[in-house]
Amino acid sequence: MADKNSLSGDFTQGSIVKKLIQFMIPILGALILQAMYGAVDLLIVGQFGTDAAISAVATGGNIINLATIVVTGLTMGVTVLISRYLGEERSHKVGKVIGGAVFFFAILAVILMAILVVFAPGLASLLNVPEEAYELTAVYVRICGAGMIFVIAYNVISGIFRGLGNSRLPLIFVAIACVVNIVGDLLFVAVFDMDVAGAALATILAQAVSVLLSLVIIRRQELPFSVSKKDIGWNPEIGRIVKLRGPIAFQDMLVNISFLILCAIVNGMGLEASSGYGIAQKVIAFVMLIPSALMQSMSAFVGQNVGAGKEDRARRAMFAGMGIGAAIGVPIFLIAFFRGDIPSAIFTSNAAFIARSAEYLRGYSYEAVLTCIVFSYIGYFNGHGMTLPVMLQGISASLLVRVPLSYLFSLKEGANLVDIGIAVPIASVYGIIFFTICFWIAIKNEKKKGE
């Protein structure tokens, strides 16, 4: 497969660790740039904007992330379906997948744009935003919501190429967006003093430029498929995309809602806690880079091997991913636990905000290791199209563990952000136990079928 077209990769043979790392590195690079992309808004606002703007960008960003995570979850269906068809050597079906995805996600973009623009003030109220940051939060959500079409387009394009086994082009796309966003933030916030509105405008401008340039780049590539106008519309592949990832996207939405509830709990503790938590979330975006890269890589890697009938290789890839992630996660855990103030100080000079951010990071730090195991499991099940265990784990961990514990810990006398932060790794411990049981059951059932 790789010999026929340089844009696709063959994961069904060769060294698992080597091929997994080779595929993962460009994805990791893209995720680093995405994390920088998200962090730049808060960094520039923290240095040149008002104190209330930090809370507004952080909370507004969480609302936008809810929509983005749902879209990302669904586009993984495109990735898995394309990788599966390639593994089965049915590349002629890829055009229908892409045509259906274009139609489906265009409709979804319109719906999300309308919701975010119209209900921005109500969403800010639901999240218990501190009074000083309320209006600014609504402005940020409205502007970013108006440009949601570009966010969705980027995710669809990236999902297509990851399904082809190509993680380099998505890296180029997000690099373009990152550069434009940095320039835009400096211009709108630091020079024109537009505060939160400037940060939001820079974000949307960056996505728009990235999408337009990515389309130009794509037109110059030799692709192992063709898409005609007849392919763009409602077709059976849309149903397959939704079936593959609809439950997971729903689960991702509920999980993100649980984090929004956590945000609301913290916002109720005042502007210092709200801003400190917002800063910690940007640091966490970097902590989560390795687990996220593992999950995206694992889905495509496992998907191809399942399509080629190589179940044993898919399992070995999952365990390799866990080992790689945990080894890298240990030093990250140590930094977050002992010196969370160092990365937090990058975003602001406000000592109180830095201290509260470090508090949350100390409680959260165990996730640097635990999530690598959880996300490797998720990538494995996603690659199989086994959405039920992933959905059940995500929902139960969020609604039965993370949110209740966060609320209970916030009621503790003298509660601080360490108490609230530790609820997240506790939920991951539950997730590891849950997925281990599901994996054991799946292996047992597979052996029964082979007898």
Q: Which residue segment(s) compose the domain that 342 sits in? A: 16-450
- Phi and psi for 59 in degrees, rounded to 5? -70, -45
pLDDT, residue 252, reads: 78
Beta strands in 12-157 (DSSP E): none
Residue 8 maps to a domain = no
Residue 132 maps to a domain = yes
Return the structure tokens found at 370: 């635990």
Could you tell me the CA-to-CA distances from 308 to 7, 55, 85, 186, 320 in Å, in that order? 19, 49, 10, 49, 19
How far apart CA 4 and CA 17 sit, in angstroms, is: 23
How far apart CA 181 and CA 88 sit, in angstroms, is: 40
- Mean pLDDT (10-residue bins), the chain, 451 residues: 47 83 82 80 89 92 90 87 80 84 94 96 94 94 95 88 76 84 94 94 92 83 72 87 81 84 92 94 90 84 83 89 91 96 93 95 96 92 83 89 92 88 95 95 79 58
Q: What is the DSSP letter of 188?
A: I
Q: Is the separation of the CB atoms in 159 and 76 below 8 Å? A: yes
Residue 262 maps to a domain = yes
Q: Give me the sign of the Cα torsion angle 273, 276, 281, 284.
A: negative
Burial of residue 15, with CB atoms counted within 10 A of its CB: 0-12 exposed, 13-18 middle, 19 or more buried: exposed
How far apart CA 229 and CA 6 sit, in angstroms, is: 26
SS3 of residue 214 by DSSP: helix
Residue with tokens 């763009």: 232
Nearest to 419 by CA among 409, 434, 431, 411: 409
Residue 23 maps to a domain = yes
pLDDT, residue 339, reads: 95
Residue 7 maps to a domain = no
pLDDT, residue 3, reads: 42
**DSSP class per residue in 43-67:** HHHHHHS-HHHHHHHHHHHHHHHHH
Return the structure tokens found at 5: 């077209």
Number of H helices and E strands in the chain, helices first, is 19, 0
Return the structure tokens found at 222: 């030799």
How far apart CA 89 and CA 92 sit, in angstroms, is: 9
Residue 34 maps to a domain = yes
pLDDT, residue 1, reads: 40
Residue 11 maps to a domain = no
The number of domains in the chain is 1
Residue 267 maps to a domain = yes
How far apart CA 298 and CA 383 sit, in angstroms, is: 7
pLDDT, residue 5, reads: 40
Return the structure tokens found at 267: 């916002």
